[in-house]
Structure 1
Amino acid sequence: MAKKKENFEDIMANLETIVNKMENENPSLEEAIAYYEEGIKSCGKLYKILNNAEGKIKVLKENTEVDFEEEGKI
């Protein structure tokens, strides 16, 4: 079965859960390290999603600016 692709909101919710556990559950050292590792992985995923979105926005912005410039010349 195909793995469900995580979206930004799901990853953020998971990261918030990890933070709450770290703050409220008083985890053991081993648990804290595991939470930290999971949080770092989530942050990496979020960074990739945001970086990809930024790239798409830049492309759209560049295409829009070109279109407006061409319209002004007509």
Structure 2
Amino acid sequence: MAKKKESYETMMERLEKIVEVMDSNEITLEGTMVNYEEGVKICNNLYKILNDTEGKIKILTDEGEKDFTPHVE
């Protein structure tokens, strides 16, 4: 069965837990490598989400792409 897509926030929480475990010095070298690999996968997924989100925020104009800036009064 396919794994349900995790939210950005859920992945960030998981990454923070991985960092805490690795910082604790109470993990084996093998455990560190497993956590490192998982952390890299999570970082790649987070990066993709951020890139996709940035693309949705950009507005195409006649001059090309223009960053979206909300109008604040």
Which one has a larger percent helix, Structure 1 or Structure 2?
1
Place the TM-score, normalised by the shorter chain, in its bin. 0.7 to 0.9
How many residues of Structure 1 are paired with residues of Structure 2 in the alignment?
62
1:12-62 C-alpha deviation (Å, 9 max, x unpaired): 00000000000115211100000100000000000000000000001xx33
Q: Name structure 2 gaps, 5 residues minimum.
A: 67-73
Give the 4+ runs in structure 1 shifted more than 4 A.
none
Q: Name structure 1 gaps, 5 residues minimum.
A: 66-74
TM-score of the aligned structures, taking structure 2 as reference length: 0.75
TM-score of the aligned structures, taking structure 1 as reference length: 0.74
Compare relative contact order (CA 8 Å, sep 6+) and give the higher one, 1 or 2: 1
Which one has a larger percent strand, Structure 1 or Structure 2?
2
Q: Rg bigger for which structure?
A: 1
Calculate the aligned-residue CA RMSD, in Å: 1.7
Overall identity of the aligned pairs, in %: 52
